[in-house]
Structure 1
Amino acid sequence: MKIKKLLFIAMLLVSCSIYAQETNSPSEVVIGSFRGMTIPLRDFPTLTTNNFSSDDMIMIVNEAIVQESLISPTSTVIQNLQTEEGGITVMPPLQNFIGFNANESGGYYPPDPTGAVGPNHYLHAVNSAVKIFDKNGNLLLGPTSLNSFLGNGSNNGDPIVLYDQLADRWMVSEFGAASNSLSIGISVTNDPTGNYYVYDYVHPNGFPDYPHYGLWHDGYYCTVNIPGYSGNDALVFEREVMLNGGDNPQMAIFSLP
Structure 2
Amino acid sequence: MRRSLAVAAVLLLTLGSYSASLAAVSISTSFIGVRLANSGYIPPSPSGAAGPTQYLIATNGRIRTFTKFGVLDGALNTDTDTFFDTVRNNSSTTYPRVAYDQLSSRWFVVMTNLSTPNRILVAVSSGSTIAAASSFTFFQFQHDLVGATPNADTGGFADFPTLGVDANALYIGVNVFNASGTTLLGTTGFVIQKSSLLSGQLVVAAFRQLAAGSGAGPFAPQGVTNLDPGATEGYFIGADSAS
TM-score, normalized by the shorter chain, greater than 0.5: yes
**Residue matched to 1:147:** 81
Residues 138-186 of structure 1, C-alpha deviations (whole Å, 9 max, x = no match) = 1012531111111113433101111011100101111012041111110
Query: 178, 193, 197: which is aligned to 2:137?
Result: 197
If asked which structure has higher relative contact order (CA below 8 Å, sep 6+), I would say 1
Question: 1:104·1:143 contact (CA, 8 Å) conserved in 2?
Answer: no
Larger % of strand: which?
2
CA distance in 1, matches of 2:158, 2:185: 13
**Is the alpha carbon distance of 1:193 and 1:154 closer, same or farther for their aligned partners in structure 2, counting shifts above 3 Å?**
farther
Q: Which runs of 5+ in 1 are unaligned?
A: 1-69
**Structure 1 position 111 matched with structure 2 position 49:** no
**Is the alpha carbon distance of 1:235 and 1:90 closer, same or farther for their aligned partners in structure 2, counting shifts above 3 Å?**
farther
Query: Post-superposition, which runs of at least 4 consecutive aligned residues in structure 1 deviate over 4 A?
Result: none
**Structure 1 position 252 matched with structure 2 position 181:** no
**Residue matched to 1:45:** none
**Residue matched to 1:95:** 29
Aligned residues: 178
Question: 1:234·1:254 contact (CA, 8 Å) conserved in 2?
Answer: yes
- The aligned amino acid for 1:202 is Q
CA distance in 2, matches of 1:154, 1:117: 29
Question: 2:62·2:79 contact (CA, 8 Å) conserved in 1?
Answer: yes
CA distance in 1, matches of 2:157, 2:164: 20
- After the TM superposition, which residues 58-137 of structure 1 pair with which residues of structure 2 at under 5 Å, given as runs? 87-88=20-21, 90-106=24-40, 108-137=41-70
Scaled by the length of structure 2, what TM-score is found? 0.66
- After the TM superposition, which residues 192-231 of structure 1 pair with which residues of structure 2 at under 5 Å, given as runs? 192-194=130-132, 195-204=135-144, 205=153, 206-227=156-177, 228-231=183-186
- After the TM superposition, which residues 20-31 of structure 1 pair with which residues of structure 2 at under 5 Å, given as runs? none
- After the TM superposition, which residues 156-175 of structure 1 pair with which residues of structure 2 at under 5 Å, given as runs? 156-175=93-112
**Is the alpha carbon distance of 1:217 and 1:134 closer, same or farther for their aligned partners in structure 2, counting shifts above 3 Å?**
same
Instruction: Give the aligned CA root-mean-square deviation in angstroms.
Output: 2.6
Scaled by the length of structure 1, what TM-score is found? 0.63
* Identity rate, percent: 30
Query: 237, 243, 247: which is aligned to 2:192?
Result: 237
Question: 2:52·2:128 contact (CA, 8 Å) conserved in 1?
Answer: no
Q: CA deviation at 1:94?
A: 2.1
Helix, strand or coil for the counterpart of 2:94?
Answer: coil
CA distance in 2, matches of 1:135, 1:100: 15
**Residue matched to 1:185:** 123
- The aligned amino acid for 1:171 is F
Whose radius of gyration is greater, 1 or 2? 1
